[in-house]
Structure 1
Amino acid sequence: MHTACKLCGRLSAAVTKMKCIGSNGMYSSSGPRLVTSLSFRPHSSRVLQPQTAGHKQKRVFPCVRSDALAMGRRQVLLVMASTASQQQLAGLATAAGNGTAAGDPQNAAAAAAAAQPAAGYKQPPKEILDIVDAPPQPGLTFSPDRTKILQLSRPPSLPPIFDISRPELKLAGVRIDAEQWSPSRMGYYMGLSMVPSDVLVPAAPEAMMKISGYPEGAWLNYVTWSPDGSFIAFTTRSPGGPGDPPRGPLQLWLADTATGKARPLLGPRRLNTVFHSYTWIDDNTLVAATVPAGCGEAPRRPPVPAGPRIQDNSSGKKSQNRTWTDLLRDDHDAELFEYYGTSELVLLDVRQQGSEGEVIAPPRMYTEVVSSPDSQFLLSCWLSRPFSTAVPAGRFPVTLQLWDRRGAPIRQIAALPLAEDIPIAFNSCRTGPRGLSWRDDKPAELCWIEAQDGGDPDVAASPRDIVYTLDAAAAAAAAADGGQQLAPSVLATTDLRCGGVSWCDGDLALLYESWWKTRRSVVHTLAPDRREEDKAVLFDRSFEDVYSDPGSPLTRRTSAGTYILAKVDGRRQLLMSGTGASPEGNRPFLDLFDLDSKEARRLWQSSPPYLESVGAIMSDFNHDAPVTLDGLQLLLSRESAKEPTQTYLISFKGPDAASSNEQRITDFPHPYPQLKDMQKEVLRYKRSDGVDLTGTLYLPPGYDAARDGPLPTILWAYPREYKSKEAAGQMRRSPHQFSGIGSLSPTLWLARGYAVLDGPSMPVVAEGDEEPNDTYVEQLTASAEAAVKELVSRGVTDPARVSVGGHSYGAFMAANLLAHCPELFAAGIARSGAYNRTLTPFGFQSEERTLWQAPDTYSKMSPFMMADKIKKPLLLIHGEEDNNTGTFPLQSERFFNALKGHGGPARVVLLPHEGHGYRARESVLHTLYEQDQWLERHAGYGRTDPSYVTSSGEADSASSLSE
């Protein structure tokens, strides 16, 4: 389903969207619950993330949290394996080791304890297990001067169940580890080491300088370079296992990059990283969010309630919200949220050994502190009461203030009230200033956007948005001169929803606006220092049309550590990098684009049999020198269908970049050599209504159709909505992309002799004023029919052994296909889905209408309403702590009961402590076991486990396919 920010609850509008077993508070569980019915910001870091087993890359989209809580993080350029565009090489910004729970594997110490499955948990066959257990490759970041590479070592396995079973607080859409004063379920790194940038990675031990001095075995997070690269800051925490130090708040450490020696910072102070961790202000100074001194014990829930829980809307105010999870329930939740969200800001000169720093602001619920490019001002943001039981934290009242670098207030930028009534439609937004950030090309100039339509896209308004700027130094001078407030100035206006500004200099900036209903995207050029001049349209296109995508401009680093548009030779020419989508597949490119003539000259393009992408500029270490084609250096990723992604440094020569040479940076081994010779083909076929469809077919190594005959086949998909048949039918993949296998990927079953059609197109098209979901079922079944027909016609698929599966919205799809075209499939697998749309009455996925506006559509789309018609076996799997909008575990439980009540063959597996995605080793392996057994029993080879438990409550020794 579309990703929803857990702080603000905003859905992306993008198309592309117990019992205690020890005194240390660790918890365990006997295994998954099942029921059956069988008759279911660092400065200038370059981060390289290799594709490895268990780490399938996903695209991430911005949300309102970046508007309200995360202003202007300095850009970090990411190099991802198995990617096909500059956006994925450089635009998916993330901090190395930033403590997020994005699937990082965990805990080497616990790996041994987790080697044997916990009671009640099962493991898949060895051929699948070996791939899941493939060792991960390290993360890599370049130093700001490009002379060093930092290797971040990952743990060797998935985290054990005891680690994700730790108690956590679920407050206002935020999950908190109370012992650590941090987000819960964070990933981590196991070690840090540096190598010269001309040494091939992974480097031999003798070529590496290991970062040392911190506690042995500590888990590391929030790893950043100082702006000049002299230091590396990071945090440590205890694993909390047997024999480890007690768990507690994270400790901040600093390593000298000349010696590799690390030392602790802040004395006895510890960090509060629930919302914010620390920010570099300059080469030697940072601001850290710490646990407030004298905060006392956490509030305890009164043993006797003070009264009933009451929600009131006597005023009759309209407030529609999607089904957010983990909301505050009562006053005690609010007290806990305020207690753990409150931090104290400490200013620290890292050169002063032993210093505890200086408190520069009173305790508040700080969500972000961002330094101006010249390091003289701070932009601070914090939450405050009144809280709400109806919306997540990102919609709570927000205060935004401009401070000097020592925390003295200069002026208030905004005090945004509680926002419970943001419309559910896409392009809705909060009223008041949003998207606050520092202008990257100026010493200290703020920029923000304000909606003129009340944040409601259904309100006609021109302009719809206004972009403002404010010079911090001038504002400070005005405030000092009698306390005056300097008014912001208007930079530009837009008639669509403004998406922000990319800065270059006083003569050039790019302004972005877009509109969801029409899929229109417009890019303007403007001169920020000559505001009397009108903006000019540079691109005006449909963002669904990938064939016409001109690419995205590359940026260069400034001496202040910010990133600005990279003008070539100081002229009005930009370097544009894009996916190069075409009917033949993606062929990423690099163009020299003239802003005046709007003509592009191709400098470089990926060539078969490889998929290559250029990303971050690496020749910008001389910040005063212009970017030139002669000597231009870029990071380049290269992969093929059989070779994993490697990273290179490509250097162009000549004034026209007519030639180039390369330096190899990485030499990672194939993560799963047993599948190196798997067969891969991108299929092209048509739907009955003429829409072009694609899918990636995988066949086992050594398979020969004439010799081996048709195979059992898994179809794994995810539906998407489009505004035109032409856009829906465009090719969005490459036959030369390396096939990364995630820990829950359907391609794992290649090792079991299955064919897999991964990601077949399931477009739902609505042209003009039509709504896509009004014909969702018809279009979905037509796409499935076309896919199965194509597979059978090739002779690789046994039509009697086709299974369908998906996760989240893909699970919703799988259940619908079993309901509406059961003749196509022998069985289905549905993970973490929602099946009754009346339980998501204020919209879901790309549906903007409410249940009361489109009752027939909601009912027709709900496979729950077709439970009496589903007679093919359906496996339902769900995390018991699913925190995704709309996909409560109740959806799977009630759907199973409905199927069972009508005699439908089904099984539901509920995974303890798991969220929308599954992370614990035991959970992942048991999920694979369940899927394997389901496939083998109903649509495979009949290789069933004699101990497999069915509805009788006894082991099932059946080995045949028939029921």
Structure 2
Amino acid sequence: MAADPRDPVTEAPLSPPPGGAGSKDRAKDGAKDRAVADGAGTVRAEDADPFVRAVATELPGGTGPVGARPAPEPVLLPDTALPVDAVPRSLVSHGCWYPSVDPGGRHVAFVCDRAGVPQLWAGPVEGDDVHLLDDEPHPVTEVAWSPDGRWIAYTTAPGGGEHTRVLCVRPDGTGRRVLAGGEPGTSAHLGCWTHDGSALAVTVAEAPAHLPPAGAEAGGPGADAVSPAPLPEGWAARDGRATLLTAPSRPPAAALAAGGPPASAEPVPRTLSAYLVAPDGSAAPVLLASERDAASLRVCDVSRDGRLALLRRGPRGRREALVVRLHDLRVTCGVPVADGDPWIGAFAPDARTLWLRSDHAREHAALYAVVLDRRGHRLGLTVAAERDGSGLDLLALDRDGRGAVLSWNVRGVSELEVAALAAAGTAGPPRAVPLPHEVVTRVAVTADPDAPVVALSGSLRRPGVWWLPQGAALRTPWSSRDEDVAPGAHPPVRPVPVRPVARDGLDLGGWYYRAPGRSPAEPAPCVLHLHGGPEEQERPVFEPLYHELLGRGLDVFAPDVRGSSGYGRSFVDADLGRGRFAAIDDVADCAAHAVLEGLADPRRLAVMGHSYGGYLAMASLVWHPDLFRTGVPVCGMSDLTTFFAGTEPWLARSAAHKYGHPDRDRELLHELSPMSRIDALRVPVLAVHGEHDTNVPPGESEQFVRAARERGVEAELLVLRDEGHDFRRADNRRAFRRTAADWIQRHLAG
């Protein structure tokens, strides 16, 4: 997150939490994002933490003072709740997602963009009396209703950027306040509620107070000793002395599981700190964990007796579930867990079993039961539910912890089940729950384990919230109707799955959308759209961008190249290191598949993508310069070296595992960068970027466009105001879709 070296990290002797989960001695911290814009519209984190000088990470493991910043008092805000009739409706068809239910299970808080920006709403599952609880224009990203029903916590992205803050409000719209994320140089993330609703877990991201001494390398003077991380198969030899920053200073499954060493009395740099916060500010904050140079840290559950906390930490591809004993902040257990949804699991009511969504020692994620002793140490680890060839996508335990809702990813399509959980760490026979649409994006449990509320999306509908009592599928009245999904002359298109084969024999995947009215035997102009991540997966959901392109008579092929999720751990890791060159070739192989199948016209192909997909689009244009007629990279990395220099520190630490270390792997990063081959670019390019993107700074698009123009290639840059890495405002999304479609249509014409 944005660094601010002027805000020192102080040594604050915070009292450990008392035994009960209902204790009033709770914690929080605040932060507010800050960015600066230069004359070209580029926004970067101010005083970015030099990634190459960071050292290995550790979690606190003792009773000594911990160097973490004390949390400020909550900031009260004016009430802004509005009934639905008072809200201007700028969208004919809107989306609703990220539901969280009240204790009775009959009212839902959710995110909705009916006013043009994702905002916090609440209403009954069986009525349309919904209310807007926060009318500020800052996009809302996550929602959590407290178990006692008194508060709704949510996360917003001020200015549409990547830095976030955590707020809470009462269900009637009163008492709105910032809990964390209100101070310069920091950002905050939502964690779980305690089971009695008296406290909320938040994670505060803050810059270290100081950097390691210049020249302090891992294992050298002034730094912790670090064992180099194992290199992926086929990765080239490294040319530097540093180690991957994702290598832990102590193996979590060994030393940390045994309790770890006592925390040092000396203050150390901290990046992420997790606290318990009293929503009304009536009690002091309580520190749960703090980690320096961290990639992620989220509190997923606190046991009902207040003894243990479940944390998810680590970079992409190396996530871990950690059990932290709260009275002394020692890590007692660590288990690798899957990427994807951050809510990885929860404790059973007696905290003797931990239920986890994990791909530990397997290709696909499954439901694991971790048996714990009274002190939180692991006694056993078993698989309670699994599927051959499919992974557990979402896991939600019901309110009493004796049942679970499981959403499985079956080659991109969701299958939902409800299962009973036994104290012995086993799950009963699951009951399938029919779904009216293809993909479940969020599960919210209710008081009735057989009546979950879920967010659904499908190729023929906008995202909506559905109530599933005893297997019935009831659309909430405030979600868009299916007939309103795409107003206009062109109906939405249901894609068909395709299975290309890469030149090295690896089976790929994806979905092909055929433009309405086109003859099956007619090769069409086609746009290859590449998803981000790289670990994301293309799934059959309604995508307005695709609808816009299809309405122009353009086919859309959305492939899953190597590195995508949904196909197993080996497939995700197949692009590591020098394997990324094969991922770039996968794009060409997917284009060839569409041509050979008679779907796409080889003379009228375009490529586009977002985030990593934007990088891959740039790379495809310069590695395969004769394949595409044009390209539209969106928020993509054009030079991996400048990307590492400008991105958020937490993202840099995750990205090192995927692409290479910016010090050790400089030669590899240069080879993989589209800018290194810019002389090969031959076709027009439209680059698109959000002005407040701090994940991939806008300079990545600017330098690519500038270099193209210097070489006489037509190139344009569209900068979207008040947007970050993801485009959330309806007017900006509409401008992006139409501008991109106009550009592609013009260059593929004829």
TM-score, scaled to structure 1: 0.50
Gaps of 5+ in 2: 5-36, 43-56, 62-66, 71-78, 81-85, 160-164, 203-208, 220-265, 646-651
1:595-674 alignment runs, 5 A limit: 601-604=429-432, 606=434, 615-620=443-448, 632-635=450-453, 641-643=459-461, 648-652=466-470, 665-666=476-477, 668-669=480-481, 670-674=484-488
Deviation by residue 1:514-567 (Cα, 9 ceiling, x = unmatched)? 7999979797645556459962121399x9x98253676541225xxxxxx325
- Structure 2 distance, partners of 1:150, 1:435, is 21
- Structure 1 distance, partners of 2:103, 2:734, is 40
Match 2:528 to one of 694, 715, 723 = 715
Match 1:395 to one of 246, 255, 271 = 271
Q: Comparing 139-148 with 793-802, which one deviates more in the overlay?
A: 139-148
* Residue 577 (structure 2) aligns with: 773
Compared CA separation, residues 400 and 691, structure 1 to 2 (3 A): closer
Given that 1:716 and 1:760 are in contact with CA atoms closer than 8 Å, whether structure 2 keeps it comes out as: no
- Structure 2 distance, partners of 1:847, 1:596, is 38
* Residue 93 (structure 2) aligns with: 135
Match 1:905 to one of 714, 717, 740 = 714
* SS of corresponding position for 2:688: strand
* Residue 555 (structure 1) aligns with: 397
AA aligned opposite 1:748 = E
Given that 1:877 and 1:892 are in contact with CA atoms closer than 8 Å, whether structure 2 keeps it comes out as: yes
Compared CA separation, residues 144 and 876, structure 1 to 2 (3 A): same
* Residue 916 (structure 1) aligns with: 725
Compared CA separation, residues 937 and 282, structure 1 to 2 (3 A): closer
* Residue 702 (structure 1) aligns with: 517
* SS of corresponding position for 1:557: coil
Compared CA separation, residues 795 and 188, structure 1 to 2 (3 A): same
- Structure 2 distance, partners of 1:761, 1:271, is 38
1:213-252 alignment runs, 5 A limit: 228-229=148-149
AA aligned opposite 2:325 = T
Given that 1:576 and 1:593 are in contact with CA atoms closer than 8 Å, whether structure 2 keeps it comes out as: no
- CA drift of 1:811 comes to 1.5
- CA drift of 1:109 comes to 7.1
* Residue 441 (structure 1) aligns with: 304
1:314-463 alignment runs, 5 A limit: 316-318=215-217, 395=271, 419=292, 422=293, 439-442=302-305, 444-447=306-309
* Residue 878 (structure 1) aligns with: 689
Given that 2:336 and 2:360 are in contact with CA atoms closer than 8 Å, whether structure 1 keeps it comes out as: no
Given that 1:760 and 1:787 are in contact with CA atoms closer than 8 Å, whether structure 2 keeps it comes out as: no
Deviation by residue 1:235-266 (Cα, 9 ceiling, x = unmatched)? 99xx9xxxxxxxxx99997566xxxxx76789
* SS of corresponding position for 2:398: strand
Q: How many residues align?
A: 600
- CA drift of 1:933 comes to 3.6
- CA drift of 1:807 comes to 1.7
- CA drift of 1:939 comes to 1.3
* SS of corresponding position for 2:680: coil
Compared CA separation, residues 147 and 851, structure 1 to 2 (3 A): closer
Compared CA separation, residues 405 and 491, structure 1 to 2 (3 A): farther
Gaps of 5+ in 1: 9-28, 35-62, 72-97, 100-106, 112-132, 159-186, 240-248, 257-261, 290-309, 321-384, 389-393, 423-427, 472-486, 559-564, 568-574, 621-626, 653-659, 723-727, 942-963
- Structure 2 distance, partners of 1:505, 1:875, is 54
Does structure 1 residue 566 correspond to structure 2 residue 375? no
* SS of corresponding position for 2:602: strand
* Residue 260 (structure 2) aligns with: none
Q: Comparing 149-158 with 697-706, which one deviates more in the overlay?
A: 149-158
Match 1:681 to one of 496, 511, 521 = 496
1:515-526 alignment runs, 5 A limit: 525-526=369-370
Match 2:603 to one of 792, 800, 822 = 800
AA aligned opposite 2:554 = Y
Match 1:740 to one of 536, 542, 546 = 542
Given that 2:687 and 2:701 are in contact with CA atoms closer than 8 Å, whether structure 1 keeps it comes out as: yes
- Structure 2 distance, partners of 1:757, 1:721, is 17
Given that 2:534 and 2:613 are in contact with CA atoms closer than 8 Å, whether structure 1 keeps it comes out as: no
- CA drift of 1:804 comes to 0.5
Deviation by residue 1:631-667 (Cα, 9 ceiling, x = unmatched)? x333366676435566554444xxxxxxx55655446
- CA drift of 1:64 comes to 11
Deviation by residue 1:707-748 (Cα, 9 ceiling, x = unmatched)? xx33211111137668xxxxx9xxx766xx4x3224xx2441
AA aligned opposite 2:402 = A
Compared CA separation, residues 673 and 699, structure 1 to 2 (3 A): farther
* Residue 635 (structure 2) aligns with: 832
* Residue 705 (structure 2) aligns with: 896
AA aligned opposite 2:664 = Q
Deviation by residue 1:793-843 (Cα, 9 ceiling, x = unmatched)? 333322111000112211211111111212221111112222122324586
- Structure 1 distance, partners of 2:581, 2:364, is 27
* Residue 676 (structure 2) aligns with: 865
- Structure 1 distance, partners of 2:595, 2:382, is 47
Given that 2:457 and 2:463 are in contact with CA atoms closer than 8 Å, whether structure 1 keeps it comes out as: yes
Does structure 1 residue 578 correspond to structure 2 residue 407? yes
Q: CA RMSD in A?
A: 6.1
Deviation by residue 1:497-519 (Cα, 9 ceiling, x = unmatched)? 89986211336321659799997
* SS of corresponding position for 1:791: helix
* Residue 105 (structure 2) aligns with: 146
AA aligned opposite 1:712 = P
Compared CA separation, residues 608 and 449, structure 1 to 2 (3 A): closer
Compared CA separation, residues 789 and 504, structure 1 to 2 (3 A): same
* SS of corresponding position for 1:756: strand
- CA drift of 1:672 comes to 0.5
Does structure 1 residue 692 correspond to structure 2 residue 534? no
Match 1:813 to one of 616, 619, 627 = 616
- Structure 2 distance, partners of 1:935, 1:920, is 22
AA aligned opposite 2:543 = I
* SS of corresponding position for 1:864: helix
AA aligned opposite 2:346 = S
1:5-20 alignment runs, 5 A limit: none
Given that 1:138 and 1:154 are in contact with CA atoms closer than 8 Å, whether structure 2 keeps it comes out as: yes
- Structure 1 distance, partners of 2:357, 2:112, is 40
- CA drift of 1:754 comes to 0.9
Given that 1:811 and 1:830 are in contact with CA atoms closer than 8 Å, whether structure 2 keeps it comes out as: yes
Compared CA separation, residues 70 and 921, structure 1 to 2 (3 A): farther
Compared CA separation, residues 799 and 845, structure 1 to 2 (3 A): farther
Given that 1:819 and 1:867 are in contact with CA atoms closer than 8 Å, whether structure 2 keeps it comes out as: yes
TM-score, scaled to structure 2: 0.62
- Structure 2 distance, partners of 1:311, 1:234, is 31
AA aligned opposite 1:156 = A
AA aligned opposite 1:395 = T
Match 2:116 to one of 157, 161, 170 = 157
Given that 2:152 and 2:168 are in contact with CA atoms closer than 8 Å, whether structure 1 keeps it comes out as: no
* Residue 352 (structure 2) aligns with: 508
Compared CA separation, residues 602 and 491, structure 1 to 2 (3 A): same
Given that 1:830 and 1:875 are in contact with CA atoms closer than 8 Å, whether structure 2 keeps it comes out as: yes
- Structure 1 distance, partners of 2:700, 2:669, is 15
Deviation by residue 1:908-936 (Cα, 9 ceiling, x = unmatched)? 34445543334566654543444234213
Compared CA separation, residues 588 and 691, structure 1 to 2 (3 A): farther
